[in-house]
Structure 1
């Protein structure tokens, strides 16, 4: 090291030591400057004043030490980045404070140089470059620590949100969990709820966001989660009717979906979730619609008791499976219309657009194949058997 370089290093170290001797005073000045020129610290009120003071104190000390060449650690900067991420202070405002701190350190070094009669020294040019180099490096460390902490917080938030969803949908929600879920999901604790379960054809958050926005126009707050089997929506009805919400969902949703009955309060959405999933299963294969449970209760009952559904099919319709497809479908369609017409041959003929004798002949054909006389009572059973036949085609 040349004598000139050595002398310059001693000069910078001397200035730095003088600045460090005034560290509490400089920290007070920096905190006041931040509050005056960076209003986010007061507006957001997420960083306590003592926290800000300690951070400014430690970072000014480290910056000055690095300028003097006596230290090269970024522990204070990294701690500040992590802490501000946890406090949800915007990174731009954090970095602005570091720039304010760099300017204050530079001004403090100039003041000391003047006091020591070195205001015209070429050494100060080197000091200026060193100040902003250190501030840039320190700011990079702050940003890196901030982003790392932010990623961790996002993962933690997602995990907690997922835990809250699971608690609600699996019926493990105690009062504390319900209150926290209402806060995190931004939905009310009490009041009527619907749950919608949509086949998972959604691959981005934009779709559920558009659902939420459209429902918000009806003053129906909602929360959405993309699950492996389905996209689930919690819909807080408020004063809106379930019929209006169903109409809007049918406009929005272009995939098979099920809609629950109304339940009271966030604590009971597990019941509504099971109902919505069951309602979804009542839709025939390939049909795109939002199926409300209230309109598909017979199918839901059959799905809930598949062994009884199979017994109904065995009792009434199994022999029809041996027929050619065209004849089988014709007879099943006639039976559907006969049940709808409450056993009236004339009304069945009107619905099937054929002569009443044709209806009688088809019913006799069913009697011949199955051994069951449909005119001899059992219309309710036959209606359920027909629904079961559609639900369990195999």
Structure 2
């Protein structure tokens, strides 16, 4: 993994997006990278650990280049509240992938204690790094506050939609969970924890009760109360979608449930 002023100067314009073909060719030569290849971009929310930038390819043969990609304050992509504006200036890496692909790159960062971080989908050329950087930044925003998660965008698409439109996410949370949020924190947390357990157990009340260490009737009663408070039924697919998305917004909120 490599970093430094020279690498950053060559990567910066590519990561900013809109690079001309001549610039892409010049950067490819300067970095020793193929113009076409299997690339992913990583955006970290904390300083990169020293172990991550050790020289040479990793065990999978992937090659890493670290730089930065601050969005220009006057650019359209840096509009207030945008994912790009919130992500700008953080640690950014371009990875020429080995055979194991982006999943191995994410696993490598977890092994080295990096995070939180977002990993873009795989793109096929240096010219696509700007778009990949934006998607990696969006993936980073799906990490829960205070977490050390390394997540791939393709694993978090619903959450990515929510963080991309924060004003709609706020409205969704208020519309679906409004009455729930008026409860005292301990009571609210109990209902949220029960809903999470029920979802993680595939909608099984019995399995959720085992996970929570309570009687299945207790789980059933909590879920029925949550349905009354939200005016949504867990048995109606469209209303269940509302509840799941609102729960995701709550997870991403800096406030405890």
Instruction: Report if TM-score (shorter chain) is over 0.5.
Output: yes
The structure in which a higher percent of residues are strand is 2
* Compared CA separation, residues 239 and 393, structure 1 to 2 (3 A): closer
Contact conserved, 1:367 with 1:373, CA < 8 A, in 2?
Answer: yes
**Which residue number corresponds to residue 15 of structure 1?**
none
Instruction: Specify which of 39, 47, 62 is matched with residue 220 of structure 1.
Output: 62
Aligned equivalents of 1:177, 1:253: Cα separation in 2: 34
**TM-score with structure 2 setting the length:** 0.80
| Higher RCO structure (Cα 8 Å, ≥6 apart) | 2
Name the residue aligned to 1:349: 209
Q: How many residues align?
A: 233
Partner of 1:382: 243
Cα separation, partners in 2 of 1:161 and 1:242, compared to 1, 3 Å: closer
Aligned with 1:323: secondary structure?
coil
Shift of 1:242: 2.1
Q: 2:29 is matched with which residue?
A: 183
Matched, 1:254 2:114: yes
Of 133, 151, 158 in structure 2, the residue corresponding to residue 273 of structure 1 is 133
What corresponds to 2:84 in structure 1?
A: none
Secondary structure of the 1:329 match is helix
CA distance in 1, matches of 2:38, 2:48: 26
More helix by percentage: 1
Q: Provide the C-alpha distance between the structure 1 equivalents of 2:171 and 2:202, rounded to a whole number of angstroms.
A: 23
Deviation at 1:301, TM superposition (A): 1.1
- Residue 330 of structure 1: how far off its partner (Å): 0.9
Structure 1 residues 320 and 263, CA gap change in structure 2 (3 angstroms): same
Mapping 1:79-228, distance limit 5 Å: 158=5, 162-202=8-48, 207=51, 209-210=53-54, 212-213=55-56, 215-226=57-68
CA contact (8 A) 2:173 2:250 kept: yes
Greater shift in the superposed pair: 319-328 or 347-356: 347-356
Deviation at 1:238, TM superposition (A): 4.2
How far apart in 2 are the matches of 1:172 and 1:227?
Answer: 13
The 3 A distance-change label for structure 1 pair 361 and 216 is: closer
Label 1:208 to 1:243 Cα distance change in 2 as closer, same or farther (>3 A): closer
**1:260/1:236 Cα in 2 relative to 1: closer, same or farther (>3 Å)?**
same
Report the alpha carbon displacement of residue 239 of structure 1 after superposing the two structures with TM: 3.0
User: Contact 1:343 / 1:379 at 8 angstroms: preserved in 2?
Assistant: no
Q: Secondary structure at the match of 1:317?
A: helix
User: Matched residue of 2:115: which SS?
Assistant: coil
- Aligned to 2:36, the other structure's residue is in SS state coil
Is 1:187–1:221's contact at 8 Å kept on the other side of the alignment?
Answer: no
The structure having more radius of gyration, on CA atoms, is 1
Pair 227,178 (structure 1): closer, same or farther in 2 beyond 3 Å: closer
Distance, in Å, in 2 between the alignment partners of 1:217 and 1:193 is 17
Contact 2:14 2:130 (C-alpha < 8 Å) held by counterparts: yes
